[in-house]
Amino acid sequence: MTQYLYHEEHGRLSMTDMDSRYELHLELSPSYYADGFWCMSQIIFRAPYDMGVLPITARDLKDYPESVRSLPIDPSKTHIEVGAGLGGFIQHVTAWCKPIAIDPAKYDVMERMLSDVHGRRLPRYVMNRLEVLLERCALIRDRNRVHLLNMTLGNALERHPELLASADVVVDHFGATEYVKNEDLAPAPHRDQALLIAERERQLLKPEGRLFLHF
Ligand SMILES: C[S@@+](CC[C@H](N)C(=O)[O-])C[C@H]1O[C@@H](n2cnc3c(N)ncnc32)[C@H](O)[C@@H]1O
């Protein structure tokens, strides 16, 4: 049976899944939920990666750069997000077509944890946010709506050669380029490794495709 460890302190509720060591952190203060506050501070996962325990964020589309927010979604085109996490871009694209998400995050674990905490008595604004994230988890796991490659970028390129030169739009918003150690690269300064990862992301693009990179 799944075992969770709950801890509440200083207005923050934390939950750890003892098997995966995934952590879920929720801010219980209404000010964190006020419009315009950076969504990363509201509800955030932390997961163990090779480079340590790192956040899996859930930024809303409004927190992505203007270049991504204003991008017209053409259903005839292929959209990929590398390091989708629980961000709002993939959900946005599904209103028009089926995007590809590349991310090794354990979405089944995150969905279970969100669902468990949703069963507790929490303020309405927290419940609202949990419901948004539960919807994103369900969506990204729905094979009819999203093509999820539940692995790192490097593994996706290796195991799915059909991805090469296939995309019109690739978005990396604090994704693979942020967590360089997940990409099996020779030792180098962080920025150089991030640029090498960006090169890998460019391999996904058609000649006229566009990469939207933020790290
Ligand atoms: C900080 S979150 C960003 C999530 C979302 N794009 C946002 O802006 O809120 C980083 C995400 O990148 C994923 N990630 C880390 N290394 C990766 C890699 N090598 N390939 C693909 N995704 C990776 C993590 O699992 C995590 O979900």
Segment 167-200, tens digit of pLDDT: 999 999 999 998 888 888 888 998 999 999 999 9
Whether this prediction's pTM lies above 0.85 is answered by: yes
Task: Return the ligand 1 atom nearest residue 175 CA.
Answer: 12
Q: Which residue, by CA, sits nearest to atom 27 of ligand 1?
A: 85
Q: Is 12 helix (H, G, I), strand (E, B) or coil?
A: strand
Are residues 173 and 201 in contact, defined by beta-carbon separation less than 8 angstroms? no
Residues in the chain: 215
Q: For 58-214, which CATH class? A: alpha beta
Give domain limits for the chain: 58-214
Task: Return the ligand 1 atom nearest residue 197 CA.
Answer: 19
Determine which helix (DSSP H) or strand (DSSP E) holds 27, and give its type and residue range. Answer: strand 23-27
CA of 148 to the centre of ligand 1 (A): 13
Residue 96 CA neighbour count, 13 Å, CB half: 15
Structure tokens at 112: 């279970």
CA of 186 to the centre of ligand 1 (A): 20
Pick the range with the lowest mean pLDDT from 32-41, 136-145, 151-160, 188-197: 32-41
CA of 87 to the centre of ligand 1 (A): 9
Pocket test for ligand 1, best of 64, 103, 150 (most atoms within 8 A of CB): 103
Ligand 1 pocket by Cβ (under 6 Å) = 55-59, 82-85, 87, 102-105, 152-153, 173-176, 178-179, 182-183
Which residue do the tokens 């939950």 mark? 15
pLDDT in tens, 44-88: 899 998 778 889 999 999 989 999 999 999 999 999 999 999 999
